[in-house]
Structure 1
Amino acid sequence: MTATNLDTQDHNPTLDLATITARLDRGFPQAPGTGGPDRHSTWVTTLNDDGAPHTTGIGSAWADGAFWFETGPRTRKARNLARDPRCSLALALDEFDLVVEGVASRVTDPALVAARAADWAAGGWPCEVDESGVALTAPFTAPSGGPPPWWVYRVEATSMVALLTVAPGGATRWRF
């Protein structure tokens, strides 16, 4: 891993990745009124077949050192990822904004799918593993997720950029 300080003009030090991941480990609820400015939002960008970006809001989780999200197999993001797994995620927290570039892969390990289902259910979304053992179902999801079943994706980061939104400020890029 390499770290590059992007905030040398204000003489702020390089940010500590462990501090960033420790904050992510605490979680980031996504219901209205639970974060700044009103909630924590995650956006995923995938690549359309013509190379144009497609960005949409998603529910996400941070676990086991990676970002996770779910979507239906017929959604544009799922179709885009099946063709080209490169993507980026953007997340705004109270303390920092974060952009992650990486590669998304569909998770088919039943234990990992069950672990994420448990995480999301604990956060207030009543999802559960469906009869296939490798997808999710629930009474509802965001409209961008399409109808069930919902596949689980893990994003393996190739780079991350954090920009502190609180004093003293700072910005750092990590490449993995």
Structure 2
Amino acid sequence: MAHRQPVGELDPRYSSGGAAPLGWERARRLLVAAEVFWLSTVRPDGRPHVAPLLAVWLDEALYFCTGPTERKAANLADSPHCVLTTGRNLLGEGLDLVVEGEAARLTDDAALRFVAASFETKYGPDWHFDVRDGCFRSGGGAAVVYRVAPSTVFGFARGSEYGQTRWRFR
């Protein structure tokens, strides 16, 4: 499948003098390889909510799951706008990514089986999910699955050159 190749735009306000925009393929590889993401949503009263979770990058989107009664699911039912972040916690090196988009619930069992297989391939057999009735099933519990296609991704590079690259998808 051909991947969308958005063009990166460097923001000189937050970049070293000699920095250049990062290529999307580098950011995409990091999204595929990253093991932990942080999901930011907004509670109905406007307060932020942030939680770590696992996610897989497939078909140019991030997929994650959560319990149907968890705060994340309640927040997304009220507003699908969310942010997923991943990267490194080192000041002098690394690339952090911020993925902005809207979470859409995935309920098609065939699509869910593909996503479930991807979770198990990436994270191992402890992350095996059966699929039934539009949900992941494991250990007697259900999890709802969301797809977040990026509207904008920001990349924050650190090292010999600091740079902020923005990729727009719409």
Q: Tell me if both proteins adopt one fold, taking TM over 0.5 as the criterion.
A: yes
- Residue 146 of structure 2: aligned partner: 153
**Once the 2 structures are TM-superposed, how far is the Cα of residue 169 of structure 1 from its aligned partner?**
4.1
Question: Partners of 1:165 and 1:56 in 2: how far apart?
Answer: 24
Structure 1: segments with no counterpart, 5+ residues: 31-40, 140-146
Residue pair 1:113, 1:129 contacting (<8 A) in 2 also: no
**Once the 2 structures are TM-superposed, how far is the Cα of residue 58 of structure 1 from its aligned partner?**
0.9
Question: Partners of 1:60 and 1:130 in 2: how far apart?
Answer: 17
Residue pair 2:109, 2:132 contacting (<8 A) in 1 also: no
**1:149 alignment partner, SS class:** strand
Are the structure 2 counterparts of residues 8 and 165 from structure 1 closer, same or farther at C-alpha, using a change threshold of 3 Å? closer
Q: Give 1:10's aligned amino acid.
A: G
**2:17 alignment partner, SS class:** coil
* Among 20, 23, 43, the residue aligned to 2:27: 20
Question: Partners of 1:24 and 1:155 in 2: how far apart?
Answer: 12
**Once the 2 structures are TM-superposed, how far is the Cα of residue 95 of structure 1 from its aligned partner?**
4.0
Are the structure 2 counterparts of residues 9 and 92 from structure 1 closer, same or farther at C-alpha, using a change threshold of 3 Å? closer
Q: Give 2:10's aligned amino acid.
A: N
Give % identity: 31
TM-score (norm 1): 0.79
Residue pair 2:39, 2:85 contacting (<8 A) in 1 also: yes
- Verify: 1:170 aligned to 2:166, yes or no: no
- Verify: 1:56 aligned to 2:51, yes or no: yes
**Once the 2 structures are TM-superposed, how far is the Cα of residue 11 of structure 1 from its aligned partner?**
1.9
Within 5 A, what are the aligned runs for 1:20-169? 20-25=27-32, 27-28=33-34, 30=35, 41-93=36-88, 95-122=94-121, 123-124=123-124, 125-132=126-133, 134-139=134-139, 148-169=141-162
- Residue 35 of structure 1: aligned partner: none
**Once the 2 structures are TM-superposed, how far is the Cα of residue 171 of structure 1 from its aligned partner?**
2.2
**Once the 2 structures are TM-superposed, how far is the Cα of residue 2 of structure 1 from its aligned partner?**
5.8
Larger CA deviation: 52-61 vs 163-172: 163-172
**Once the 2 structures are TM-superposed, how far is the Cα of residue 175 of structure 1 from its aligned partner?**
2.0
**Once the 2 structures are TM-superposed, how far is the Cα of residue 62 of structure 1 from its aligned partner?**
1.0
**Once the 2 structures are TM-superposed, how far is the Cα of residue 9 of structure 1 from its aligned partner?**
3.5
Q: Give 1:17's aligned amino acid.
A: W
The alignment's C-alpha RMSD in Å is: 2.1
**2:77 alignment partner, SS class:** helix
Question: Partners of 1:156 and 1:170 in 2: how far apart?
Answer: 24
Question: Partners of 2:55 and 2:160 in 1: how far apart?
Answer: 27
